[in-house]
Amino acid sequence: MLTLFIFLISLAGGAIGAMSGQGGGVVIIPFLTLVMHVDVKTAIAASVVSVIATSSGSAAAYVRDRISNIKIGMYLEMFTIVGALVGAAITIRVGGNWIYIMFGLVLIGSLIALWLKPDHGEVFNLKQDRLSHFLELEGEYHDRAADQPIHYRATRAALGGPAMFGAGMVAGMLGIGAGSLKVLIHDLIMEMPPKVSTSTSNFIIGVTALAATSAYLAAGWVRADIAVPIILGVTLGSRWGARLMIRMSNAAVRKFFMVILAVLGAQMLLRGVGVL
């Protein structure tokens, strides 16, 4: 019964995650811990395994369409995987209350980031510093909406890389993709075009999650009755959510998700400080 319920929650979480571009973990983990009273570390370990599945599935399409930039992704992965290992080590060692507080802060932070999200419009950066040029952080993709090739250059590699260490740490610590944080770094620091930013973030998330998953597996925290329904549910739900998203307006999706982030973020914080 528990397994079936987790599968249904994961279906919904996957759909919501796909619609908002945030991933299912930010919804599923709070639900497992607050409603179903699953231990938060067990929930994180299960969720991070599922992140590999959803990330790899969606990244396959973006890479094939050459929207994800493999070189940018590989460079940033140098930082995210180390960050993820550090994050997983922190989760293994600290008390559960700190995890709740951290999770709540990340959800509230994601809410603020969504609210303040800058609109770059159709301006694509073509300036680049020396390091970014040396690292060949540029590319081109065919934008189907505009029906034209888009050439772009990422910049500030020296700042973007270390910032991704932080994103990797959050991902590893909380069992989520931390895609919103990664996209913010891509957008604001490295000035990547929105589609390249999102798709490259997706590409990076799977390897980042692998680093954390291995730590939790060796710690004996991966429960099949929780991980398997999440893996299957989120993978299916995200495909369903992607189709639903096409029919909804961006504003509606954004408002809906902001409400979810606010509610869950507040609850996780309150649980962390012992009020709930």
Q: Closer to other proteins at the Cβ: 104 or 229?
A: 229
Q: Which is nearer to other proteins, 52 or 253 (CB)?
A: 52
Give least dist CB 222 to other proteins, A: 4
C-alpha to C-alpha distance for 90 and 130, rounded to whole angstroms: 35
∠ CA 23-25-31, rounded to 5°: 130
- The amino acid present at 257, given as its one-letter code, is F
Query: Largest Cα–Cα distance in the chain?
Result: 57
Backbone region of residue 154 per phi and psi (left: phi > 0; alpha: psi in -120 to 50; beta: other values): beta
Nearer to other proteins, 26 or 207 (CB): 207
In total, the chain counts a number of residues equal to 276
Which residue in 3, 12, 8 sits closest to 241, CA to CA?
12
Q: How far is the CB of 267 from other proteins (least distance, A)?
A: 27
Please say which residue, 104 or 166, places its beta carbon nearer to other proteins: 166
| Alpha-carbon gap, residue 74 to 82, rounded angstroms | 13
**Residue numbers of the site for other proteins (CB under 8 A)?**
3-4, 49, 52-53, 56-57, 59-61, 63-64, 66, 70-71, 74-75, 77-78, 81-82, 85, 88-89, 92, 134-136, 206-207, 209-211, 213-215, 217-225, 227-229, 231-232, 235
| Shortest distance, position 136 Cβ to other proteins, whole Å | 7
CB of 66 to other proteins, least distance (A): 5
47, 25 Cβ separation under 8 angstroms: yes
CB of 205 to other proteins, least distance (A): 9
